Chain A
Amino acid sequence: MRNNKYAVSFRIGFQSSLEYRFNFFLSLISAVFPMIVHYYIWTAVYASAGEQQVFGYTYHEMIMYTILAAVISKLVLTHMEYAIAEDIKSGGLNKYIIQPITYFGFRISSYLGQRLIHFATSLIIILVLTFALNNSFNLHTSKERILVFCLSLILSIILSFLISYSICAFAFWLSEISYFFVVTSLLIQIMSGGMFPLEIFGEKLQLLFRFLPFHYLIYFPVNLLNGRIDGPMVWQGLAGQAIWILLLLVICRLVWKQGMKRYLGLGG
């Protein structure tokens, strides 16, 4: 098996996520609280607004957005920046320079392994929630839509890995990095629509966000599933995701190449 070493990385990641079982169960629960909070906020908003639509969303669309965005943001925000920065700072990269395994390959396999359970459970939760919301709100989400959603979710998982991975390259240049990551992950969560739908930011900021890759992480797949994105917009969005993946692959390569030059320069 040519890819055996990556398979092992994948397995190690998977096992380490099982190791701390208490933690693992709790991390599933922690996704529920923001959902509840936002559900009640929006319920209060719609109750007192007395209007059909707020920020262009009907009540049902907004609730669906809120709940799905909470699940998906748990799924797609990687939080692996610290581990990578640690490798860069403490010289942990050295062993990948020597060993015949690329660091990129190791990271993505172990990341996918670590998140496999999250992927599976999140997907089940999303489907169950969609079904439940469909029932209680008398909606009908078509099978085709769910399939397209799954496709866009996979793309956004890959996209989010690439975004994190290229942001990590800052660790080559910045000496104190953990603060930086706290801010970037917060910004990414906001700009991807993980906290609120992007419509609350007003026209101008929204326009800016559309030129950035982040809204493809959460905002796009969620609105795909709740039906707000329709017709040709669907394919436009998927193409946007694909283009950003390609673009970020190039960016990753470039910044890491530069970073490694610096890293080796420092090390030697």
Chain B
Amino acid sequence: MPVGNAVEVCQLVKEFEYYKKDIGMRQSLKNLFFRKKLVKKAVNAVSFAIEEGEMVGFLGPNGAGKTTTLKMLSGILHPTSGSANVFGYTPWERKKPFKQLFSIVMGQKSQLWPDLPAGESIYLNKCIYQVPDEEYRRTLDELSGLLEVRKLLGVQVRRLSLGERMKMELIASLIHRPRLMYLDEPTIGLDMMSQRAVRNFLKYYNEQYRATVILTSHYMKDIEDLCSRVILINAGTILYDGELKRIGTRHEERKLIKLFFSEEISPELLLAFGDVKESDGNYAVVEVGKDEVRLCLQQFLDKFPVVDFNIEDLQIEDGIARLYSGSV
């Protein structure tokens, strides 16, 4: 593999088998003896490469295949076909040295013992990862200081708030200083302050240790703050791989015109000018080409009782939504 690539993925495919269940008494009886097997392609021929020290965001709706990809890259799942190379290892061979160099944090699952102080679970990880005592003390001190939870290490996990728990989760998974981190929705359910603290910490860790980070999140803010590069996945395929900003610029040639009328205007009348994104009687949002803005606006002002208007750029979310809908 070329120097500097932490992760290389080539034509990765993961299929799941499942059974179709029909409703009704007769179908239940029928299912007792044979069931119809169906195949779902959760990840379909995905390829990408990530450089060491890069922070990349996986974006996509629920069930797009983000988590499945992460699980294959951490060796939890075997792919149906395709290959992956993570720091020279094939993840699903689950070699011990490979396990030593990464960690995975899932926002929905906890590796901490709920009834024990978080410190105990962190210490257990220290033993599992065979971290030398001195290094362990230093890392624990540094990480707990950065996350401002040093005083909480002795508190039972179930008495911690969700945000505090996630911080402990992060310390527990970073105690062996992994070179690669997978974060699956690390900020899910957290309040704004905790989200920000977690984000700042991840940024620091990434910069300080040149750690490679792959992150999935539903919060656009996470990705915007942390990742210069995003990989957009939907229905198991990559729709876009590149700079986050460019998703927006691709659609920079489109603008939104927000119109406020003094009386109700039916949206059908506006259709001739562009895409009606929103319409609520006195208020409408129309998406038009950049070059047509002047012309359209003039006609709006001429034909309709416009009281006020606004011209805006499309949001990144809009660009993403566009990509999704284009792929279906």
Contact = CB atoms under 8 A, between A and B. Distances in A.
CB–CB under 8 A between A and B in the complex?
Answer: yes
A18 B29 CA distance: 7
B25 to A, nearest CB: 6
Interface in A28-57: none
A21 B32 contact: yes
Nearest to A18: B28
Say which size band chain B's interface belongs to.
under 10
Interface in B1-54: 25, 28-29, 31-32
A15 interface: yes
A18 B35 CA distance: 13
A19 interface: yes
A14 B32 contact: no
Interface in A1-29: 11, 14-15, 18-19, 21
Contacts of A21: 31-32
Contacts of B32: 18, 21
A168 B14 CA distance: 46
Contacts of B29: 18
A11 B29 CA distance: 12
A21 B31 CA distance: 9
A168 to B, nearest CB: 27
A137 B31 CA distance: 41
A153 to B, nearest CB: 25
Interface string B176-191: 0000000000000000
A14 B29 CA distance: 10
Contacts of A18: 28-29, 31-32
A235 B32 CA distance: 41
Contacts of B25: 11, 14-15
A15 B31 CA distance: 10
Interface in A180-214: none
A116 to B, nearest CB: 11
A102 B31 CA distance: 31
A166 to B, nearest CB: 31
A14 B31 CA distance: 13
A21 B29 CA distance: 10
A28 to B, nearest CB: 13
Contacts of A14: 25, 28
A39 B29 CA distance: 35
Interface string A76-106: 0000000000000000000000000000000
Contacts of B31: 18-19, 21
B303 to A, nearest CB: 53
A92 to B, nearest CB: 23
B169 to A, nearest CB: 27
13 contacts: A11-B25, A14-B25, A14-B28, A15-B25, A15-B28, A18-B28, A18-B29, A18-B31, A18-B32, A19-B28, A19-B31, A21-B31, A21-B32
Interface of B: 25, 28-29, 31-32
Given A14-B28, A18-B28, 5 more contacts: A11-B25, A18-B31, A18-B32, A19-B31, A21-B32
The 3 closest A-B pairs by CB, nearest first: A15-B28, A18-B28, A21-B32
